[in-house]
Structure 1
Amino acid sequence: MAKLWTNSRGPIPASDIDVRRAGAINALLVSPLEILPKEPGDPVRPLAVGIWHEIRPLLKPGIGTTVLRKAMGSYLHSKRYYLASAQPDAMRHDLDGRPVGEISDQDRLAAQESFLTLLKREGKEAPEPTEAPVVIAAPSKAELIRAALLNRRASSAPAN
């Protein structure tokens, strides 16, 4: 199992190609998405899960959803989008660019692996970690319940 990155690189700035991809998406919509970068250097922000259902109704009349899916896919499967999604402090955002929740460890790991795969295809080396990576395992539901019950018992136990 690969290990999650523990050091954040901060906001990932959009490149010229990211801005062109975002512009291609916005050109298909009746109103531009605030979450997408408008110029190089703007942050690349991961989208909220299920946001497609909010974007699709914004499609201009006469344009098929396949065209929008391809434009979105080009942006979402880019190296910088994967890198932004793999950051330890990465957040998902709504259409207006407001944070709506953290990216799950599972999604971060998938983004990290996709980023590294794209780097490898380009013949580039993976960045060296500055500290030992840590594998984060989410506690199971049973472990969470057990911990809550133990805390309740410990706080209600009589003092000697």
Structure 2
Amino acid sequence: MQGKELMDKSRTVSQTPIAATEFDVQKAAAISVLLVRPIGILPDKPGDQIRPFALGLFNDIRALAKPDVKATALRRAVGSFVHSKRYYFASAQSDSMRHDIDGKPVEPLSTEDRLVAQRRLLSLKRNNDEHSVPRVEPPTAAAPSKTEQIRAALLKRNRQT
């Protein structure tokens, strides 16, 4: 089992902070438009560091929601960000820290939380691999037409006589 963990670790651990992509920034912007003010934990531009959220941070974020924003919409937007491959990758790092709403580190991620992030990241990678390789079905012979079936039966009967 230890070999498997080391193999998995090599695919889930980076030596540098995990940088946000344009897609991560779009997800962060989807959260920001639902809030009365920007929050420092979200990336503003590609290349900004993705930072794992402190435990219970959603409650702080929800307190900043615009009056007309439903909690479900906010939860979905935040969920889209925190259940992404790059967020899991950032959380899986051996030196991962949780951050407050302003983006300041508050505590290291527990070993258990890092392992969960690694497993989810590997699961996402496997799912992406399965969906990215197109399945090629072997060609199947077309069913013979009624005419071909009659012809084959007559030829078979003629050979037997």
Count of aligned residue pairs for this structure pair: 124
Q: Indicate the RMSD between aligned Cα atoms, in angstroms.
A: 1.6
1:10 offset after TM fit, Å? Answer: 1.6
Q: Which amino acid aligns with 1:87?
A: Q
The separation in 2 between residues aligned to 1:113 and 1:10, in whole angstroms, is 20
The separation in 2 between residues aligned to 1:47 and 1:66, in whole angstroms, is 19
The separation in 2 between residues aligned to 1:48 and 1:9, in whole angstroms, is 22
SS in 2 for 1:92: strand
Judge conservation of contact 1:83–1:115 (CA < 8 Å) in 2. Answer: yes
Instruction: Write the mapping of 1:128-143 to structure 2, written as runs, cut at 5 A.
Output: none
Q: Which of residues 24, 28, 36 in structure 1 aligns to 2:30?
A: 24
Q: Does 1:3 align with 2:9?
A: no
1:53 offset after TM fit, Å? Answer: 1.4
Q: Which of residues 97, 111, 118 in structure 1 aligns to 2:117?
A: 111
Q: Percent identity?
A: 51
1:86-121 deviation digits (Å, cap 9, x = unpaired): 000000000111100000010000000101111111
Structure 2 unaligned segments of length 5 or more: list them: 131-161
Q: Which of residues 77, 81, 87 in structure 1 aligns to 2:83?
A: 77
1:67-92 deviation digits (Å, cap 9, x = unpaired): 00000000000000000000000000
Q: Which amino acid aligns with 2:18?
A: I
Normalising by the residue count of structure 2, what TM-score does the alignment of the two structures yield? 0.73
Q: Which amino acid aligns with 2:5?
A: K
Structure 1 unaligned segments of length 5 or more: list them: 125-160
Q: Which of residues 68, 71, 96 in structure 2 aligns to 1:65?
A: 71
1:109-139 deviation digits (Å, cap 9, x = unpaired): 0000101111111118xxxxxxxxxxxxxxx
The separation in 2 between residues aligned to 1:24 and 1:37, in whole angstroms, is 12
The separation in 1 between residues aligned to 2:22 and 2:126, in whole angstroms, is 21
The separation in 1 between residues aligned to 2:58 and 2:127, in whole angstroms, is 29
The structure number with the bigger radius of gyration is 2
SS in 2 for 1:100: strand
